[in-house]
Structure 1
Amino acid sequence: MIIYPMTMERANLLNMAKLSIKGLIESALSFGRTLDSDYPPLQQFFVVMEHCLKHGLRMKKSFLGFNKSLWGPLELVEKLCPEAAEISASVRDLPGLKTPLGRARAWLRLALMQKRLADYLRLLITRKDLLSDFYENSALMLEEEGAVIVGLLVGLNVIDANLCVKGEDLDSQVGVIDFSMYLKNDIDDYRSEERNSQIASILDQKNYVEELNRQLNSTVHGLQGRVDSLEKSNSKLIEELAIAKNNIIKLQEENQQLRSENSLILLKAQQHLEVTQGDVSLERDTYKQSRQGLDEMYNEARRQLKEECQLRQDVENELVVQVSMKQEMELAMKLLEKDIHEKQDTLIGLRQQLDEVKAINVEMYQKMQSSDEEMKKKNDVISRLEEKTNQITATMKQLEQSDKDLLSQTRTLAMSFVKCASTDTEHQYKLVKDISF
């Protein structure tokens, strides 16, 4: 079976990382105090981590030549996690650092003190699309060994580190792994097994506490986000409420203005209505006067018609008595009846005209409250009524003249009948006298 060099290198680095992390945790628990920069296991841990992160790193060309820089991939962490921006800003502000390697070493120390080294590297190895720009395809950070090392780094959260990065010369340090620290005898192995069991229980408790802390932090962040969203929505609602109040004030002002305009319009309408009512009352009085005159004319015509009917009846009675006397008298009576029927038709026509006049008067009364144009139309109707009244008066005069002519004709016929008749002279004379009223 062929074992490729890169695979063997990854396996060796993984084993060294396991030994380094295990020895650091055991020594820290047995040491019993906060670790500083001079603690050898801690120094060896940073050397091992530096070798692991450098494995498979691409060569970058610069104006000074080719170099391998860890600062490039570590600088990506602040883009993936905003909380890491504080560490990157602190590293950039350190005055003693001049090389990218020194910045990368300072970043590892600050992340360890913050107890977020495992979290930051976990975010980094999940973005292999970004790491492929800095590492070869078979690099440790792109393979499973990188994920295993990141998982082992979680155990470092049980230790506390107090490192002075500002005064330390990180640019010129030489990273050499001291294998003598990891070579132990059997007694140490036995003691280490006991300590391993203790460390395992402590790590389990620590992991539980750390996981619980993460959940609480995520819950707090979620609640904070909801509070922020509620504050934003509340501010928006307050702004909308202020806008709504301003709109209400504007609408109230417009309503008040409209009410004032409405009151003015109502006052003008009432004044116009009063003027119109005065005009209507005047027109009504005029109409009543004209109607009274028409009623008098109608009563007079009706009285005359009644008298004429009575006279016609008398004449008919007399003529019926004289029918057998002379055929000329019958002819005269027929002519008289014909004329009387024509007069009746004329009277019926006059009645119809009077009905039309009444209908026109009703229409005038209904249209009395319309505009000025309708008033002009009323004046036209009144003029037509006056013309019709004049026509009716002329017709009545013609009827009176025709009655007189008819009576004269009747009288002439009666006289001729008297001359022809030889009997009942006195009776005929009386008849002629009655007819010549």
Structure 2
Amino acid sequence: QGILHKNDHSLLCVSACPPCLALRDPMAMERANLLNMAKLSIKGLIESALSFGRTLDSDYPPLQQFFVVMEHCLKHGLKVKKSFLGYNKSLWGPLEMVEKLCPEAGEIAASVRDLPGLKTPLGRARAWLRLALMQKRLADYLRVLITRKDLLSDFYENSSVMVEEEGAVIVGLLVGLNVIDANLCVKGEDLDTQVSLTHKHRENTLVNGQIAAILDQKNYVEELNRHSSVHGLQGRVDNLEKSNSKLIEELAIAKNNIIKLQEENHQLRNENTIILMKVTQVDVDVELDTYKQSRQGLDEMYNEARRQLREECQLRQDVENELVVQVSMKQEMDLAMKLLEKDIHEKQDTLIGLRHQLDEVKAINVEMYSKMQTSDDGMKQKNDMITRLEEKTNQITATMKQLEQRLQEAERDRWTAEDGARKFKLQLETDLKIEKEWRQTLQNDLDRERDIVAQLSAEAQQINGLKKEFHRLQDENSQLKGICEEQEKALEELGCKLSESKLKIEDIKEANKALQGGQVWLKDKEATHCKLCEKEFSISRRKHHCRNCGEIFCNACSDNELPLPASPKPVRVCDTCHALLLQRCSSNAT
């Protein structure tokens, strides 16, 4: 609460009370704190610069504090970017966009990129802020940037300072810095690391830290007292609630007792009525006396029950009154707590005002100390400035010589580039001609390929027809194969019989020649039908020669065998020759 953060050098928490922290948005609180710090730093920088009456340099503490505050304002709500080395927040991204929105900022961006000592985006962003301040265009550049909400949404969250209205207020405050003349040596500083403070600023920071520690101790004591009073009241409220709960429990017990007594009374009455109904007329007097005695006892019990009921009602009324008193006391305690919280808020507001006054006194002390130190070190600074000016003059002279040499080299490079351009143009024309010829050749090849594709499509159609014909021929071939298999079986049988009768044929031929005087057998090609039955020969109906007459018959007409004069063994003869030979043999025998 109200302490200088170790990492955020000048970031103060203005709204530090717990109720405010619970009710307000944390981002809104941070924006308000940054706006207040920007106001204080800009105001202090302008006042100290006007009272100084000289050009500010990099070692000036209020100027360093201003740059730290501006860095925190620009970092607020900055989106995290993922890189190869991890996650980081870079200010250089949104500041680099100013170059596209405002062409005048291109010179600053180019200078920042050319600085040799800068290695990180944060260092480039710090150098850009210093150059923009020296150019007195920092407010204009940031105003152009905050007007483009669509571009800022890529770098900042929706609740950041640069997106909300606090950014416009801070940019408006920066306009006052145009009255300041800053002479900052950006090239010699180490801007990649955290901005360093001078020895004087470190002493002021230590003093501020001691004062802040004292204020923290005071806040702690006040908060402890407030918590102790609140805890006491809370304890009393808890005790009252416990006593109320006990009284409510006792009241419930009394109600239960009353209900039980009423039930007993009702039961006794029912029993009395039953007894009266059962009693006979003869025993009416005795029962009447007994009833009177019992009734007296019941009346006494009823009176006692009524008395207890009245006592319980009175006790209940007392409990209810006590409960009303406790509720009123609780309301008074709530009101007292609200008044106490209001008093605490007023004290905290007073403490905040005292802190602001302390900050103003602190700023006055810093200003007086800086003036005294400046008066003592004036001559040293002037001598150092003269030395630096001489060194800068020598550097400028050397730079001019280097620039002249670079100009000459640039002229030579320009002539070389023009020659190269002419050669490139000639080479390009040659390449274009070759490209046109190559394109014509490709077009011709494409036409030929199209003709070939048309021919191939026609051949493909023919191949499809041939394929269908091939399938048909395959079916026919399968049928012919079946027929061939049957014929092969028949031929095998024929071959077997031919091999057996080969020798017999020779003998039959010699016998026929001897008997018929060299009669020639009928050729197989000349006979298509059987000589006797006139049936057509086929694979299954084979041809057979008669060994006697030489004609060709089927197997059925030539299945007889007889011995002939030319062949003592029986040979095949047709039915006609068989009959004749048998007749001849029978006639010879007689």
Normalising by structure 1, we get a TM-score of 0.42
More helix by share: 1
